[in-house]
Amino acid sequence: MNQENTIVANFAISYFRYLDENGICSKELPAYLQDPQHIEKLYKMMAKTRIFDKKAITLQRTGKLGTYPSTLGQEAICVGIGAAMKKEDVLCPYYREYGAQFWRGVRMEEILLYWGGDEIGSAFKDNPHDFPICVPIASQCLHAVGAAFAFQYRQEKRAVVATIGDGGTSRGDFYEALGVAGVWKLPVVFVINNNQWAISVAREKQTASETLAQKGIACGVPSLQVDGNDIFAVTQKVEEALARARNGEGSTLIEAITYRMCDHTTADDASRYRPEAELKAHEKFDPIKRVKQYLLSKGDWDEARESKMIESFTQEVNDAVARYLETPTPPAEVMFEHLYATLPRAYEAQYQALKEGTK
Ligand SMILES: Cc1ncc(C[n+]2csc(CCOP(=O)(O)OP(=O)(O)O)c2C)c(N)n1
């Protein structure tokens, strides 16, 4: 029995970073992250993601894409996750993880089809096991624990990564998922993209929690923070968490600290609520510049290679856009046919009405 006025529990949240904002590495990197070819691969995927992102915004602005959420400034998180995962693992992403999806074989035109309103974009041809983009905030965390439970039950050495925004951690689904992940030691890694804003709601107004990582502590889930603009820290900590998960040691919560360098979506204007000075102050933490600095300082990159890379990714993105634009728009009832093996009764009337309307 505890004595009155004694401390019965203590916890701490650690913060990890390798690469500072000038691209200087302060600690010894794990061996695989010392390989210049691997670093180049990480850098290139971050750069490709940014080129894609910029193009997607242009498509929306010219009426060729629906509302689109940019991932500008968050490329280290998604690319780090993609690089850390094994093929047989499963990703349950929220809507800013293109870098992880590209790494895992999702095609650029599939992402465009999705944001263009065609659900067939979610049926990834080269990546049939990952979950589609999840727009309802935090529900993907429940899907993730379901998949993780299946792996545990079938004794498969696979793990799941669920990603979420800072605002999403205030939702019940997030806590429910963490609760079951903790108590059943499920092979799932939760990664929070703490980009400081949930649309116009600042992180401080979203939650009184000192860190978002500590939300895992209550559920017995080991929890930590990483510099989410440091690709090395993200890759390494997600890799470690996935190894623990596959070894039956359970779940981990990683809060990746970053900043949204863009509007919330193309339907938003962040200048109406976010101080310009705050955005400017974060520019120097740009995750892509950091890796480039690092590669340049080691003599493993130069401006000629940079130009060649940009040219080749621009071409790749343009080709994907052409394939997207050439895809015929399916009739509206396809969304029902595509989503359901057996249509729930509640949707029958809507389905019939659509079918009759499109004849
Ligand atoms: C269940 C649900 N409620 C509300 C919304 C509307 N909504 C879309 S994005 C968003 C804010 C999410 O912020 P955060 O989780 O911090 O992620 P971020 O977009 O900043 O990356 C909200 C409330 C939604 N998509 N789903």
The pLDDT tens digits for 85-112 are: 999 999 999 999 999 999 999 999 999 9
CA of 160 to the centre of ligand 1 (A): 21
> Which residues are CB-neighbours of 62 under 8 A, at least 6 positions away?
none
Give the torsion through C-alpha atoms of 297, 301, 304, 309, to 10 deg. -140
DSSP 11-65: ----EE-SB-TTS-B-SPPPGGGG-HHHHHHHHHHHHHHHHHHHHHHHHHHTTSS
Weakest mean pLDDT among 97-106, 118-127, 189-198, 313-322: 118-127
CA of 71 to the centre of ligand 1 (A): 14
Residues 132, 114: contact at Cβ < 8 Å?
yes
| pLDDT given at position 359 | 56
Mean pLDDT for the stretch of residues 296-304 = 97
CA of 314 to the centre of ligand 1 (A): 30
Quick one: DSSP state of residue 123? S
- Which tokens belong to 221? 């889930």
166 CB neighbour count, 10 Å cutoff: 24
Q: How confident is residue 335, by pLDDT bands cut at 50, 70 and 90?
A: confident
Q: From atom 4 of ligand 1, which residue's Cα is the shortest distance away?
A: 137
pLDDT, averaged across the chain: 96
25 CB neighbour count, 10 Å cutoff: 18
Q: Does domain 14-328 have CATH number 3.40.630.30?
A: no
Cα–Cα nearest to 74, from 231, 202, 179 = 231
Buried b (16+ CB within 10 A) or exposed e, 269-287: ebeeebeeeebeebeebbb
- Which tokens belong to 226? 């990483």
Q: What angle do CA 94, 95, 99 make, to 5 degrees?
A: 100
Point out the catalytic residue in the list 50, 96, 244, 260: 260
Q: How confident is residue 331, by pLDDT bands cut at 50, 70 and 90?
A: confident
How far is the C-alpha of 166 from the C-alpha of 173, rounded, in Å?
A: 13
Measured on CA atoms in the order 106, 109, 111, 117, is the torsion positive or negative?
Answer: negative
Tens-place pLDDT, residues 201-260 = 999 999 999 999 999 999 999 999 999 999 999 999 999 999 999 999 999 999 999 999
Tens-place pLDDT, residues 264-297 = 999 999 999 999 999 999 999 999 999 999 999 9
| SS3 state of residue 188 | strand
- Which tokens belong to 75? 């490329």
How far is the C-alpha of 149 from the C-alpha of 350, rounded, in Å?
A: 34
Q: From atom 17 of ligand 1, which residue's Cα is the shortest distance away?
A: 165
| pLDDT given at position 340 | 87
Residues 185, 217: contact at Cβ < 8 Å?
no
CA of 264 to the centre of ligand 1 (A): 9
Cα–Cα nearest to 20, from 197, 285, 213 = 285
Mean pLDDT for the stretch of residues 163-182 = 98
Q: From atom 20 of ligand 1, which residue's Cα is the shortest distance away?
A: 198
Q: Catalytic site residue 273?
A: yes
| pLDDT given at position 333 | 86
Q: From atom 11 of ligand 1, which residue's Cα is the shortest distance away?
A: 198
Q: What percent of the chain has pLDDT over 70?
A: 99
| pLDDT given at position 358 | 64
How far is the C-alpha of 284 from the C-alpha of 343, rounded, in Å?
A: 51
CA of 291 to the centre of ligand 1 (A): 29
Tens-place pLDDT, residues 128-143 = 899 999 999 999 999 9
Atom of ligand 1 nearest to the CA of 197: 20
Instruction: For the chain, give every residue range classified as CATH 3.40.50.970.
Output: 14-328
CA of 352 to the centre of ligand 1 (A): 32
- Which tokens belong to 223? 């929890």
Residue 354, judged by CB atoms within 10 A of its CB (0-12, 13-18, 19+), counts as: middle
Q: How far is CA 80 from CA 47, 330, 357, in A?
A: 13, 35, 46
How far is the C-alpha of 265 from the C-alpha of 130, rounded, in Å?
A: 23
Question: Pairing state of beta strands 201-202 and 90-92?
Answer: unpaired
Is 350's pLDDT higher than 70? Answer: yes
| pLDDT given at position 192 | 98
Measured on CA atoms in the order 237, 238, 244, 249, is the torsion positive or negative?
Answer: positive
Is 1's pLDDT higher than 80? Answer: no
Q: Tell me which of 96, 190, 199 to substitute to probe ligand 1's pocket, judged by most ligand atoms within 8 Å of the beta carbon.
A: 199
Point out the catalytic residue in the list 15, 32, 273, 340: 273
Atom of ligand 1 nearest to the CA of 135: 25
Is 2's pLDDT higher than 90? Answer: no
Chain CA centroid to CA 68, Å: 15
Q: Catalytic site residue 114?
A: no
Point out the catalytic residue in the list 104, 143, 264, 290: 264
Q: Tell me which of 137, 139, 166, 260 to substitute to probe ligand 1's pocket, judged by most ligand atoms within 8 Å of the beta carbon.
A: 137
Pocket of ligand 1 from Cβ distances under 6 Å: 96, 135-137, 165-168, 193, 195, 197-199, 260, 264
Is 72's pLDDT higher than 80? Answer: yes
| pLDDT given at position 89 | 98
- Which tokens belong to 321? 């856009």
How far is the C-alpha of 282 from the C-alpha of 259, rounded, in Å?
A: 7
